[in-house]
Structure 1
């Protein structure tokens, strides 16, 4: 799997900050990372790209560093983009403009056959699905300043991946969506574990995703576990990394039992495996 990320090094200049960009190309559907070193007389405020503002957080392991994650949406077209870093220096707000390029990941298509009731919805099912979508997006749009994590992320189970992130989904001959996570092969009743510590913010059965658990890891990071047959956690529970949260199943819109695992950053779906590799390498690995 080819991975792209954006990684910036900052140093104080006489006026403002100097920025060095190690990689200025990223593909749609993936996550970019900016890291800042603590500098005298510099207070980092926010990062803005495409008129969207992203919070800058303290590194959970290093009080001398800060970071920001921002997702490149799945539907982003190839283009030259800019990032504005806003900061305060000696009481005055300043900004630094950076540039990067978005390239097309060229995701594949996959054709699936499911129960027709999951493709052509009744009015009642449409209302339910719409309500559940709104409920979930209200959760994802919230940003918990606190970080619940203190070590690297792990995958929720060891198994073959049967469907990668980003594949266009053709259900019963009709293009309906793209795959917003990765699917792990899992027979009915396989234990599933939390990718990292956090707070359970959703635990219920839903129309499309069936038995669903969503964990807030803090600082805008959410992990999602869908199509479960049994939930072992409740909303509001604090879970630890590696803790069993339930069992795999075939609930919701599926072709058979498996685990759909997803990551949301600032409410956007991103490639979960690329995110895990990115954040583990740059945030949870101490660099000299």
Structure 2
């Protein structure tokens, strides 16, 4: 009888969930206690439309291999990392975009460091309605594809590409504040929106930027026009999402977070 009781107790407080590298899961509870993620103290977010529901966004990085362990008091959830079935792409771009000189490499580092510093910032949540896509179009390149540029540079696709001819209006996926609005070496004319609590959306390769740093924008508001700036093989919109300073699959994020939002 004692052994049976211990097995029930273990099953009550320990669970396991599979998560694909690059995806997110939303952990919700109406009994929030001390929260840790991989041993680091964290904090709960309040669901915008349910004051009794708390949640935490669990984000798995593309290169993550170790499982993610979340504890809510005595409750323990293990998120088992599963490798996604991502494809491979070969892309031809301008040679200068694969072999930049020393001064350009410094610029690339500066832009990366600037963005990473921004993504570390945690501001109050600015959203209470569902996310939308930045335009209504076909996806030409999914998240996670292994990429080889000019048979030299290897990376992975950190967002999704929407088909868009030059000059197509691009709209904000949700309410937020503009934290990047400038031309960058790889991303071209770029806009990044801070939606609060470590959630950011990225809009790259634009031909025109219609917002400026510090602007508040509403969901559906035009922020620019699509283009072919930066490291591209043709015109399109690259749409990305950052959560907890981790690049994640935008479509997966929108699907999961929208279940909490009206």
Please indicate, yes or no, whether the TM-score normalized by the shorter chain is above 0.5: yes
Q: CA deviation at 1:98?
A: 2.2
Taking structure 1 as the reference length, the TM-score comes to: 0.83
The secondary structure found in structure 1 opposite 2:205 is strand
Equivalent position of 2:116 in the other structure: 137
The secondary structure found in structure 2 opposite 1:24 is strand
In the alignment, structure 1 residue 181 sits paired with structure 2 residue 163: no
Q: Distance in 1 between matches of 2:122 and 2:197?
A: 6
Equivalent position of 1:270 in the other structure: 248
Q: CA deviation at 1:183?
A: 0.2
Closer, same or farther: CA 64–102 of 1 in aligned 2, 3 Å:
same
In the alignment, structure 1 residue 28 sits paired with structure 2 residue 21: yes
Would the aligned equivalents of 1:54 and 1:70 in 2 still touch at CA under 8 Å?
Answer: no
Q: Distance in 2 between matches of 1:242 and 1:100?
A: 34
Question: Where do residues 106-125 of structure 1 align in structure 2 (5 Å cutoff)?
Answer: 106-125=85-104
Q: Distance in 2 between matches of 1:195 and 1:276?
A: 9
C-alpha distance after superposition, 1:166-188 (max 9, x if no partner): 00110000242100000001000
Question: Where do residues 87-102 of structure 1 align in structure 2 (5 Å cutoff)?
Answer: 95-102=74-81
Mind listing any 5+ residue stretches in structure 2 that lack a counterpart?
1-11
Q: Distance in 2 between matches of 1:52 and 1:186?
A: 42
Equivalent position of 1:64 in the other structure: 52
Q: CA deviation at 1:53?
A: 4.7
The secondary structure found in structure 2 opposite 1:29 is coil
Structure with the larger strand share: 1
The secondary structure found in structure 1 opposite 2:53 is strand
Task: Give the structure, 1 or 2, with the largest relative contact order (CA under 8 Å, sep 6 or more).
Answer: 2
The secondary structure found in structure 2 opposite 1:224 is strand
- The one of 84, 101, 104 equivalent to 2:71 is 84
Equivalent position of 1:284 in the other structure: 261
Equivalent position of 1:7 in the other structure: none
Q: CA deviation at 1:102?
A: 1.3
Taking structure 2 as the reference length, the TM-score comes to: 0.91
Which piece of structure 1 moves more, 179-188 or 58-67?
58-67
C-alpha distance after superposition, 1:59-96 (max 9, x if no partner): 1111111110021010123x55432224xxxxxxxx43
Mind listing any 5+ residue stretches in structure 1 that lack a counterpart?
1-17, 87-94
Would the aligned equivalents of 2:14 and 2:75 in 1 still touch at CA under 8 Å?
Answer: no
- The one of 159, 178, 190 equivalent to 2:137 is 159
Would the aligned equivalents of 1:47 and 1:56 in 2 still touch at CA under 8 Å?
Answer: no
Q: Distance in 2 between matches of 1:240 and 1:25?
A: 34
Q: Distance in 2 between matches of 1:156 and 1:134?
A: 26
Q: Distance in 1 between matches of 2:119 and 2:67?
A: 27
Matched residue count? 252
Q: Distance in 1 between matches of 2:177 and 2:238?
A: 19
RMSD of aligned alpha carbons = 1.8
Which piece of structure 1 moves more, 161-170 or 59-68?
59-68
Would the aligned equivalents of 1:230 and 1:247 in 2 still touch at CA under 8 Å?
Answer: yes
Structure with the larger helix share: 2
